[in-house]
């Protein structure tokens, strides 16, 4: 049977390597199946036992079944072995299994190099500042492991190894910054095909009673907006995201015509708008959806983005990473003023054969206003305002005939309840209407930008009126106008606001310290998103234009190369100067301190004088301290020229302990030395 010679990795090197592996997979802790952590513990313990010579590496048969089990586990958990989640999980499992196949030194180097790739996969899922800082720490540990594997057994020490890794990382930072700033931003030529099923919070393709109210319990950031010039007031901040046109009696959902592939971009000639304009830049957090948020009516300068006939921006690829884009909004506009197609009319007046009481109520109400659509819409809003309807984040559950149950029984609901009921009442009398999902309002930061969070989620409606086109109507304003004017936290009297975020700084806004801390942290996170993660072509051009007149590719390349050459020259000079310095051995430094004490008493060591000859002179000159001089000289001689075990090949760890003990003893002897005749 073939046997393998196992690479005798040093103890410190193994510790660094195992810590590196643990930290590298820890960043994926919330995304991995529990079985991966079981495999990680087994592999780490197994590798430690191999080092202790208690166990042996698994054979080929065992390793084969481990690989098969990995593929089966990943497939059962994700339903596929493709895609970012499944692919990263398989990579991590292979990474762990390599610990059990570390026969040669090159295997250890392979694990360290693979660690860089495992750490980099974290950016497929998170680009936050906190995540990036953690990644930097892990990269530092990976580099330390690489340094440790290149050190001899005598020189490998954790502190020294980490110091070298830190120096290497610091030296690489200037080069990294130059490449980051000047290298052109190129869109990837491949796609991860991220599925929208990965979305865990935020608006979705459909909405049922209570769905939007659940978002008010979260303070997760959705996007930030920075305005160039005039800023809208709270009542103008209607961030349109998705149009719900289909209703099955309980759930409102998007129509197929709003998908990127099946929709056509609208003709801008069909929209009339005034000169009032808001210009802004949005930095949108990943939501794994295809729609983009903007104020109405907007234009967005992004490739592969369509403005559908329901005035929703659809993107070809899902928003799986931080996305930055500029927009121009014309809030005073008229769309389809005189005509909508029969298809649109049918789609926006269609109702299921449910909720009979609401339909009867609608017929009675429109009869009272002689069929006037504007007066009818006002009468429905007035009904909401005067008939004891309550705005709450914790409405009673509605099972069947949800519209009837809400309008005539519970009369308690969130914005989605009122918007859905209003659209139903409009459609019941033949008025085209649709529900709009998005966010309303936002929190202006002291630095000037606007932050929109999940608790700003909102639903409103649009109705089509001949001569006016599609008109926005917000039924929530009729019941709780303070929601539109002041924000969601000032509306409800219950304690349900932000219940999913009990530690949210928003709940401690009366504390000056917490409010100030929250403001600073949010500003730092915004700058990180704005200038690092969101550093795209337009941001790069904006930044470079501040320092370079008439930016051209030739100028950018020239400046980049000059800066790189300058950095390399400085680093080269630094390395040469460091090599030219002769570092004083710590033990020699202690002995020189001892010599300085004797020199202060008038006895100087002559150039080239041996340590024992100097001891004899010192003992003759100061006989009272002869024993102390002898102990100091003997300790220095043992430490500097003859460490125990160096010849007999004792355990490296035991030798290190002995040397440290003797060094401490030498320090003590010199510190306690008081010379007198």
pLDDT surpasses 50 at 644:
no
Of residues 124, 122, 191, 177, the one with CA closest to residue 531: 177
State the average pLDDT for the chain.
84
Tokens of 145: 């492991």
| pLDDT reported for residue 196 | 46
Could you give the C-alpha distances from 668 to 535, 596, 672, in angstroms and in order?
57, 16, 6
**654 assigned to some structural domain:** yes
Q: pLDDT band for position 385 (50/70/90)?
A: very high
**652 assigned to some structural domain:** yes
β-strand pairing of 412-413 with 390-391: parallel
Q: pLDDT band for position 191 (50/70/90)?
A: very low
Place of tokens 């570390």: 102
Angle subtended by helix axes 11-26 and 129-149, to nearest 10: 160
Where does 269-341 have alpha helices with state H? none
- Is residue 437 within 8 Å of 459, Cβ to Cβ? yes
Q: Which of 28, 415, 443, 456 does the annotation list as catalytic?
A: 415
Of residues 239, 237, 325, the one with CA closest to residue 283: 325
664 or 264, which is more confident: 664
247 and 332 assigned to the same domain: yes
Please give the Cα distance from 643 to 527 (Å, whole number).
55
What is the arithmetic mean of pLDDT over 115-134? 88
Place of tokens 């197994």: 46
- Is residue 456 within 8 Å of 222, Cβ to Cβ? yes
Taking the model in full, what pTM does it have? 0.71
15 and 143 assigned to the same domain: yes
**54 assigned to some structural domain:** yes
- Is residue 63 within 8 Å of 42, Cβ to Cβ? no
- Is residue 465 within 8 Å of 471, Cβ to Cβ? yes
Length of the chain: 677
Where does 475-585 have alpha helices with state H? 475-479, 481-485, 512-528, 537-545, 553-580
- The backbone region for 84, taken as left when phi is positive above 0, alpha when psi lies in -120 to 50, beta otherwise, is alpha
- Could you read off the pLDDT of 310-331 as tens digits, one per residue? 889 999 888 888 888 999 999 9
Phi, psi of 191 (to 5 degrees): -135, 145
253 and 397 assigned to the same domain: yes
121 and 211 assigned to the same domain: no
Q: Would you give the DSSP letter of residue 127?
A: -
- Is residue 36 within 8 Å of 95, Cβ to Cβ? no
What is the arithmetic mean of pLDDT over 190-201? 49
Other C-beta atoms within 10 Å of 351: how many? 16
pLDDT surpasses 70 at 505:
no
Please give the Cα distance from 223 to 284 (Å, whole number).
4
338 and 466 assigned to the same domain: yes
Please give the Cα distance from 476 to 419 (Å, whole number).
7
What is the arithmetic mean of pLDDT over 576-592? 78
- Is residue 249 within 8 Å of 528, Cβ to Cβ? no
Place of tokens 């202060």: 600
- Is residue 470 within 8 Å of 336, Cβ to Cβ? yes
**185 assigned to some structural domain:** no
Please give the Cα distance from 307 to 311 (Å, whole number).
6
What is the arithmetic mean of pLDDT over 373-394? 92
| pLDDT reported for residue 160 | 83
What stretch of H or E contains 227? strand 221-227
Q: Which residues contact 352 (CB under 8 A, 6 or more apart)?
A: 247, 248, 249
Phi, psi of 660 (to 5 degrees): -65, -40
What is the arithmetic mean of pLDDT over 410-421? 92
451 or 260, which is more confident: 451
| pLDDT reported for residue 489 | 66
372 or 486, which is more confident: 372
- Is residue 51 within 8 Å of 9, Cβ to Cβ? yes
- Could you read off the pLDDT of 267-290 as tens digits, one per residue? 676 788 888 899 999 999 888 888
**Residue after which a domain boundary falls, among 480, 508, 536:** 508
Q: pLDDT band for position 5 (50/70/90)?
A: low
Q: pLDDT band for position 495 (50/70/90)?
A: low
Q: For residue 641, what are the domain limits?
A: 586-672
215 and 142 assigned to the same domain: no
- Lowest mean pLDDT of 175-189, 501-515, 558-572, name the range: 501-515
- Chain centroid to Cα 120, Å, comes to 13
**554 assigned to some structural domain:** no
Q: Is 665 exposed, middle or buried (0-12, 13-18, 19+ CB in 10 A)?
A: middle
- Annotated active-site residue 458? The verdict is yes
pLDDT surpasses 60 at 503:
no
| pLDDT reported for residue 43 | 93
Please give the Cα distance from 459 to 440 (Å, whole number).
8
Strand stretches in 42-141, DSSP E: none
**85 assigned to some structural domain:** yes
Of residues 449, 460, 462, the one with CA closest to residue 347: 462
Q: Which residues contact 18 (CB under 8 A, 6 or more apart)?
A: 44, 47, 48
144 and 202 assigned to the same domain: no
pLDDT surpasses 70 at 114:
yes
509 or 282, which is more confident: 282
Tokens of 619: 């003992």
Angle subtended by helix axes 83-97 and 105-120, to nearest 10: 160
135 and 205 assigned to the same domain: no
Please give the Cα distance from 171 to 351 (Å, whole number).
67
Q: pLDDT band for position 213 (50/70/90)?
A: low
119 and 218 assigned to the same domain: no
146 and 211 assigned to the same domain: no
- Could you read off the pLDDT of 515-565 as tens digits, one per residue? 777 788 888 888 888 888 888 887 888 888 888 888 888 898 999 999 999
What is the arithmetic mean of pLDDT over 560-571? 92
- Is residue 251 within 8 Å of 456, Cβ to Cβ? no
**Residue after which a domain boundary falls, among 490, 508, 526:** 508
**476 assigned to some structural domain:** yes
| pLDDT reported for residue 581 | 64
Please give the Cα distance from 25 to 115 (Å, whole number).
9
| pLDDT reported for residue 649 | 41
225 and 141 assigned to the same domain: no
What is the arithmetic mean of pLDDT over 136-160? 81
Angle subtended by helix axes 158-182 and 11-26, to nearest 10: 40
| pLDDT reported for residue 227 | 94
**550 assigned to some structural domain:** no
Q: Which of 290, 330, 456, 458 does the annotation list as catalytic?
A: 458
Q: For 288-304, give the DSSP string.
A: S-SEE-BPSSEEE--TT
**Residue after which a domain boundary falls, among 485, 508, 531:** 508
Please give the Cα distance from 71 to 510 (Å, whole number).
52
117 and 233 assigned to the same domain: no
- Could you read off the pLDDT of 592-630 as tens digits, one per residue? 888 988 888 888 888 888 889 999 999 898 888 888 889
- Lowest mean pLDDT of 303-317, 321-335, 635-649, name the range: 635-649
Q: How many domains does one find in the chain?
A: 3
Other C-beta atoms within 10 Å of 510: how many? 7
Q: For 10-65, give the DSSP string.
A: -HHHHHHHHHHHHHHHHTTTTTS-HHHHHHHHHHHHHHHHHHTTSS----HHHHHH
197 or 71, which is more confident: 71
């Amino acid at each position: 049977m073939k046997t393998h010679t196992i690479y005798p990795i040093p103890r410190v090197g193994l510790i660094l390597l195992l810590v590196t592996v643990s930290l590298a997979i820890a960043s994926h802790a919330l995304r991995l199946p529990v079985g991966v952590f079981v495999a990680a513990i087994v592999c780490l313990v197994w590798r430690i036992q191999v080092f202790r010579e208690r166990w042996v590496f698994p054979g080929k048969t065992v390793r084969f079944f481990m690989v098969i089990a990995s593929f089966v586990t990943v497939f059962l958990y994700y339903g596929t072995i493709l895609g970012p989640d499944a692919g990263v999980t398989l990579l991590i499992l292979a990474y762990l299994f390599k610990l059990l196949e570390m026969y040669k030194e090159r295997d250890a180097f392979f694990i360290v190099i693979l660690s860089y790739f495992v750490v980099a996969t974290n950016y497929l899922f998170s680009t936050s500042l906190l995540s990036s800082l953690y990644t930097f720490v892990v990269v530092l540990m990976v580099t330390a492991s690489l340094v440790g594997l290149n050190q001899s057994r005598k020189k490998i020490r954790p502190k020294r190894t980490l110091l070298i890794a830190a120096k290497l990382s610091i030296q690489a930072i200037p080069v990294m910054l130059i490449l980051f700033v000047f290298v052109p931003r190129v869109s990837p030529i491949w796609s991860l095909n991220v599925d929208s099923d990965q979305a865990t919070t935020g608006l979705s393709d459909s909405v049922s009673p209570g769905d939007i109210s659940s978002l008010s319990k979260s303070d997760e950031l959705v996007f930030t907006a920075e305005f160039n010039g005039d800023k809208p007031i709270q009542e103008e901040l209607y961030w349109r995201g998705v149009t719900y046109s289909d209703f099955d009696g309980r759930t409102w959902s998007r129509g197929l015509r709003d998908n990127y592939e099946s929709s056509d971009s609208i003709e801008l000639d069909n929209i009339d708008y005034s000169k009032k304009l808001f210009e802004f830049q949005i930095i949108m957090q990943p939501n794994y959806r295809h729609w983009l948020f903007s104020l109405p009516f907007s234009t967005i300068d992004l490739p592969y983005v369509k403005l559908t006939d329901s005035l929703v921006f659809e993107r070809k690829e899902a928003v799986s990473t931080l996305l930055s884009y500029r927009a121009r909004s014309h809030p005073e506009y008229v769309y389809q003023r005189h005509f909508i197609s029969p298809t649109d009319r049918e789609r926006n007046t269609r109702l299921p054969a449910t909720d009979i009481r609401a339909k009867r109520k609608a017929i009675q109400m429109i009869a009272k206003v002689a069929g006037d659509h504007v007066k009818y819409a006002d009468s429905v809003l007035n009904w909401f305002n005067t008939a004891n309807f309550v705005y709450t984040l914790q409405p009673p559950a509605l099972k069947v005939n949800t519209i009837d149950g809400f309008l005539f029984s519970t009369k308690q609901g969130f914005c989605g309840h009122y918007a859905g009921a209003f659209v139903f009442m409009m459609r019941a009398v033949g008025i085209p209407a649709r529900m709009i999902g998005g966010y309303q309002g936002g929190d202006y930061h002291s630095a000037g930008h606007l932050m929109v969070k999940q608790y700003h989620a909102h639903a409103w409606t649009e109705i089509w009126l001949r001569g006016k086109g599609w008109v926005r109507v917000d039924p929530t304003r009729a019941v709780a106008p303070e929601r539109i004017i002041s924000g969601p936290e000032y509306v409800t009297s219950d304690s349900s606001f932000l219940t999913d975020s009990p530690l949210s700084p928003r709940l401690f806004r009366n504390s000056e310290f917490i409010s100030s801390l929250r403001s600073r942290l949010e500003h730092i996170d915004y700058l990180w998103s704005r200038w690092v993660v969101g550093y795209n072509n337009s941001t790069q051009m904006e930044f470079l234009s501040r320092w370079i007149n008439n930016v051209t590719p030739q100028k950018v390349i020239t400046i980049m190369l000059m800066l790189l050459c300058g950095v390399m020259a400085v680093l080269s000079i630094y390395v040469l100067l460091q090599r030219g310095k002769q570092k004083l051995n710590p033990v020699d430094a202690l002995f020189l301190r001892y010599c300085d004490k004797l020199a202060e008493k008038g006895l100087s060591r002559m150039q080239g004088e041996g340590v024992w000859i100097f001891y004899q002179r010192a003992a003759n000159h100061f006989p009272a301290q002869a024993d102390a001089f002898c102990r100091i000289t003997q300790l220095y001689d043992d430490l500097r020229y003859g460490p125990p075990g160096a010849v007999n090949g004792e355990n490296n760890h035991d030798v290190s302990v002995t040397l440290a003990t003797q060094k401490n003893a030498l320090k003590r002897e010199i510190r306690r030395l008081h010379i007198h005749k």
